[in-house]
Structure 1
């Protein structure tokens, strides 16, 4: 009998053992190897979307809609991990972030159908203006009342403005002249010109025939490049606020540069490095003073190289008051690219109705459409017109919904995703290299006070898509890009990559070699991301200043002695303001309190060992001043014996909005540190 029960006995023992494993396995998992950045330790599990990462037909649920999600995987510890660089991974859904984050709901600007639509006639290669006559009758509440429709051509002017041509009236399916690149449309009652039925505006991508000798076969083909930009969007916040977009960007053919680190504080230095290969200071010294009229036309921006290589070029930014090369700068005297949206953007901001949503600080809608759509629609039309015919390059950038709020991208998630899906339907991803990017992350506000705030502001989104034909013909470039996803890269590398793309498929010189374009002026060690990056690369190698470098760990200090650093930083800010002759209009700053002070831990030291502080070390201090409760973060070299301090004042970060604190001055750098006496709050 005993032998007959032996199998049952074994089964009972097995079940008990399995139950014990289930009870204790989670505790053992959480007690595993400690991450080297305990302050930024990720949670143990995350939803696993890898199964459908390359599924082109749908987007993985995050579980918040009630669906059953059972697959989990451990979070990574680092974005980049090497002997010279350790960028810790940040969980976008960590408890501290989710305690302050609330998604926003999309609001359409209008549910109205377009009364007049510019339709591109592919046979004639001309635009025609089609009037929805049924809608006109509905708007007039009568089919008997007559109306007229007109357009006004919008042209750029030499004074960075725009010229609006007198109204031109037209009839149904009017063929627009080929010289018209931007127009404002309107229809009104024939007996009352002020009774406008509807107004609208469009940028037209008028057809330009390709030059002779262009090749479309892979061996001689020049890849098109579409750059889709969203201001102030870190890779961390993209995952949090736009998970559907993030899932799209992780499909087959996409590569995320997770070690992409900004090189400057705001948009201007980061786009200067990417588009010109210069820092602003170096450009001023080596090319011209970009604050003077006409200088920006002389700077060797990347679109000049693309144009010389027979590319058609386009550049569009929304929110004209914040355009990168016009905000407290003179802008361009000549139209910089073949297609340029700024004149039309300024016209529609002036001539059409605008609206801000309840939580918006910038115009959310202009006319019937979202502010950013004027830039992004140009992108869609530009790609649609030429993607199968000739090489094109364009940068299409939005500030309006992301610059002032880290939450606003959640409002625009489906809106941005739709552009990606439209590009897919139009065959853009079959033909073009697409770069989805940002300039930096959030620079002020609630996220800055999280432990990950330093990383949030310094790690912009950077995704690169390679079309199938490119991956097939240049497998070594795809392999290098795959490798570089977890290596340190910077804006200067992307500049070199754009020039590398120009060189691909180009003609050879008489010696059989392809001529090389000049690389990034301010980063001699930087190179194209189509070549493997040195695994042991440092921020210095990548042209990233120490204050913006995320490669090195810092450890929070306790006690009173670190509090001596912040007051001396404030002294340097006051000296800077005095040296700029601003003391008469800017307040003398004084310390309110220190949020935290951290010390740099060399990579060859164990982060968790007890620390003996050397006489001189690198510190990072975050503090608040009494004047308008402004917050700052500075990276300094401090001698704790002599109390000597070294700091580059213009690299000190402002952590809260300064829009209402510095209305008495125009210089964007000075605005960071000046609390105008006229703006002082009690």
Structure 2
């Protein structure tokens, strides 16, 4: 149809051009050029109008435009062989491989103009010549605080002045009133840290004026004995490193050093390209990963959640503790509300959150440290988590166990991962040089891609959101005893994988590493470990992925500027406003919802009356994504409340006592 229209347009333009030429020649024989000028103006208007219509694709109805076909034809692939144009490519599932700088990214001026902010934590003196450092005595297996006497003069403002250093205890208690702990205790050289102290905040002051000249924070992993009743002498544990909000596409785009390192086969990292999320944000995906529960079992998954606290949930680390192996959990956060998983009591043997909360409150409010947003004292916030991970891994090498370490700091904007690229690549090299990779199965992953911002509004945004990154490293020694695991990972590179499969994978790896029998605890009967071959032609339902989040069968894109789309969006907004009006929230509390920008209209291939839209409002530019059933005849809408999301960060205190649905809908005036 498009080719026919194009041919017709060309014939019309050729005819007009021929007539115009003769008109101009005729005008030249006369002194009056007015007819020729008018014809030229008319020709320009016709060409512009036809070009606009062809370019925007305006239709009178919801005609189909398959996003997958457009991507497959236009996107230049950026890796692998000439035929590796797909993440998954079989008779059931086809997911295109998106280029890091595909046309819609490269030509988007606003997107290209965004630069990652400069993030410099502390001063060069604090970073390179710290006044106090923590050290570990291998003989006594105890930590101590060491004052670097040789660097004292660099911190003194007066030649003969003296320094006094003190520390505040942070103990493993999560209650807010005990986060900072006791007052600042003065300590002498090589002070031995008590075993019940999980962290300290150290201040050094110039004696007399009590002016702080140095401040830092240190966490401690006090090693203790675990069960030794094993069939093999050396145990292999599992470590999870999470980078929140990072798609496999944006990893290649914004973290080239990390990506290059991971791609080097000598480092034994296997990329699983078919990793597909199964819920909207990090929480449902991490819960599926750590509990093995499908999202359809809403009562089972969330019944354990009380006021945002998850102490009663059946997490995987409880099983690991019962096996007599150590567990650890750490997650950087900016204020308590940004934590993905929250607990009242320590859920694992080693738990960094009390330390991070105390450091967050003290180092961000102390006048000595007015730090950039992504720093805590002289370090990046994520560095505390990564340091803790390496320390845990080294402390329990050969003992096994499970450690989960999540970095949230750089998930707000798609450019921010650039700032942690060099640091994270350094940590990956450290894992190899310290032989952590020889003692652990290591998973590097994200729970989801970018949920907000300009990346989601591009043609490839569907995949940016649904395809997180996933890499797995196995101990080199396993090539002798468990070669089939490496072969399975290689085979599964282009197979569909979900967080539920990773739950099985962690169990599989732990039981191999500990020489025990493997349990099966997922709700998904067809889910499996990725350390075993995954069949081709696997559907999203086989992997426990709801079709709404499935990348194999994306919604079909519709024309945004069609009359039918306008009717559909009008019906949706009327319904959303009616929900607010019914409880009296449109009388000066919440704004009337109207559209400023429509990013996309999509129709399900499973249910013809099911739609998904993303738009920005006129008031405060709030951003929504909504799924709903739409009856064309009656123009009535039924909202799918579980898939309605606010993509902006606008405060909703004005309706904090109302239902979750109304809090999402309301734009406070």
TM over 0.5: yes
Shift, 1:266, TM fit: 1.4
Q: 2:120 aligns to what SS in structure 1?
A: coil
> Does residue 1:307 correspond to 2:308, yes or no?
no
Tell me which of 59, 65, 68 is aligned to 1:37. 68
Judged with a 3 Å threshold, the aligned counterparts in structure 2 of structure 1 residues 594 and 201 are, in CA distance, closer, same or farther, namely closer
Aligned to 2:29: none
Aligned to 1:186: 203
Q: 1:352 aligns to what SS in structure 2?
A: helix
Greater Cα shift, 578-587 or 242-251: 578-587
Q: Distance in 2 between matches of 1:324 and 1:275?
A: 19
Aligned to 1:81: 89
For residues 49-95 of structure 1, the C-alpha deviation after alignment (integer angstroms, 9 at most, x for no partner) is x7xxxxxxxxxxxxxxxxxxxxxx54733211222221121111113
Shift, 1:339, TM fit: 1.3
Greater Cα shift, 626-635 or 493-502: 626-635
Q: 1:201 aligns to what SS in structure 2?
A: strand
> Does residue 1:109 correspond to 2:111, yes or no?
no
> Does residue 1:652 correspond to 2:655, yes or no?
no
CA RMSD for the aligned pairs? 3.2
Shift, 1:527, TM fit: 1.8
Aligned to 1:231: 244
Bigger fraction of residues in helix: 2
Aligned to 2:260: 247
Q: 1:476 aligns to what SS in structure 2?
A: helix
Paired positions, count: 588
Tell me which of 543, 568, 571 is aligned to 1:565. 568
Aligned to 1:386: 396
Aligned to 1:676: 667
Shift, 1:320, TM fit: 4.5
Q: 2:161 aligns to what SS in structure 1?
A: coil
Shift, 1:391, TM fit: 0.8
> Does residue 1:321 correspond to 2:339, yes or no?
no
The 8 Å contact of residues 172 and 197 in structure 2, kept in 1 or not, is answered as: no
Q: Distance in 2 between matches of 1:104 and 1:287?
A: 37
Q: 2:573 aligns to what SS in structure 1?
A: helix
Which runs of structure 2 are paired with 1:252-331 in the superposition (5 Å)?
252=265, 253-278=268-293, 282=297, 284-285=299-300, 288-292=303-307, 296-321=310-335, 331=342
Tell me which of 446, 453, 463 is aligned to 1:455. 463
Judged with a 3 Å threshold, the aligned counterparts in structure 2 of structure 1 residues 471 and 581 are, in CA distance, closer, same or farther, namely farther
> Does residue 1:346 correspond to 2:357, yes or no?
yes
Q: 2:121 aligns to what SS in structure 1?
A: coil
Aligned to 1:132: 148
Q: Distance in 1 between matches of 2:237 and 2:668?
A: 51
Aligned to 2:181: 164
Shift, 1:676, TM fit: 3.2
Q: Where do 5+ consecutive residues of structure 1 fail to align?
A: 1-34, 51-72, 509-513, 603-613
The 8 Å contact of residues 67 and 557 in structure 2, kept in 1 or not, is answered as: no
> Does residue 1:475 correspond to 2:479, yes or no?
no
Shift, 1:551, TM fit: 1.0
Q: Distance in 1 between matches of 2:610 and 2:421?
A: 40
Shift, 1:434, TM fit: 1.0
For residues 618-656 of structure 1, the C-alpha deviation after alignment (integer angstroms, 9 at most, x for no partner) is 44333343333333333444443454555422213444x
For residues 562-613 of structure 1, the C-alpha deviation after alignment (integer angstroms, 9 at most, x for no partner) is 33322333345446657999667444424456443233457xxxxxxxxxxx
Aligned to 1:623: 615
The 8 Å contact of residues 170 and 181 in structure 2, kept in 1 or not, is answered as: yes
Q: 1:164 aligns to what SS in structure 2?
A: coil
Shift, 1:424, TM fit: 1.5
Judged with a 3 Å threshold, the aligned counterparts in structure 2 of structure 1 residues 89 and 664 are, in CA distance, closer, same or farther, namely same
Aligned to 1:65: none
Greater Cα shift, 440-449 or 571-580: 571-580
Judged with a 3 Å threshold, the aligned counterparts in structure 2 of structure 1 residues 240 and 282 are, in CA distance, closer, same or farther, namely same
Q: Distance in 1 between matches of 2:364 and 2:664?
A: 35
The 8 Å contact of residues 42 and 94 in structure 1, kept in 2 or not, is answered as: no
> Does residue 1:397 correspond to 2:406, yes or no?
yes
Q: 2:87 aligns to what SS in structure 1?
A: strand
The 8 Å contact of residues 315 and 396 in structure 1, kept in 2 or not, is answered as: yes
The 8 Å contact of residues 227 and 395 in structure 1, kept in 2 or not, is answered as: yes
Shift, 1:120, TM fit: 0.9
Q: 2:135 aligns to what SS in structure 1?
A: strand
Q: 2:642 aligns to what SS in structure 1?
A: helix
Aligned to 2:602: 598
Shift, 1:290, TM fit: 0.9
Aligned to 2:40: none
Judged with a 3 Å threshold, the aligned counterparts in structure 2 of structure 1 residues 466 and 103 are, in CA distance, closer, same or farther, namely farther
Shift, 1:272, TM fit: 1.0
Q: 2:455 aligns to what SS in structure 1?
A: helix
For residues 253-311 of structure 1, the C-alpha deviation after alignment (integer angstroms, 9 at most, x for no partner) is 22222111111111211111111123577464467351347x62121111111111222
Tell me which of 519, 522, 535 is aligned to 1:520. 522
The 8 Å contact of residues 577 and 593 in structure 2, kept in 1 or not, is answered as: yes
> Does residue 1:337 correspond to 2:340, yes or no?
no
Q: Distance in 2 between matches of 1:152 and 1:361?
A: 20
Q: 2:311 aligns to what SS in structure 1?
A: helix
The 8 Å contact of residues 316 and 396 in structure 1, kept in 2 or not, is answered as: yes
Q: Greater CA radius of gyration, 1 or 2? A: 2
Shift, 1:366, TM fit: 1.5
For residues 354-407 of structure 1, the C-alpha deviation after alignment (integer angstroms, 9 at most, x for no partner) is 799xxx9982111111111121111121112222x311321111111x221110
Q: Distance in 2 between matches of 1:394 and 1:416?
A: 17
The 8 Å contact of residues 236 and 456 in structure 1, kept in 2 or not, is answered as: yes
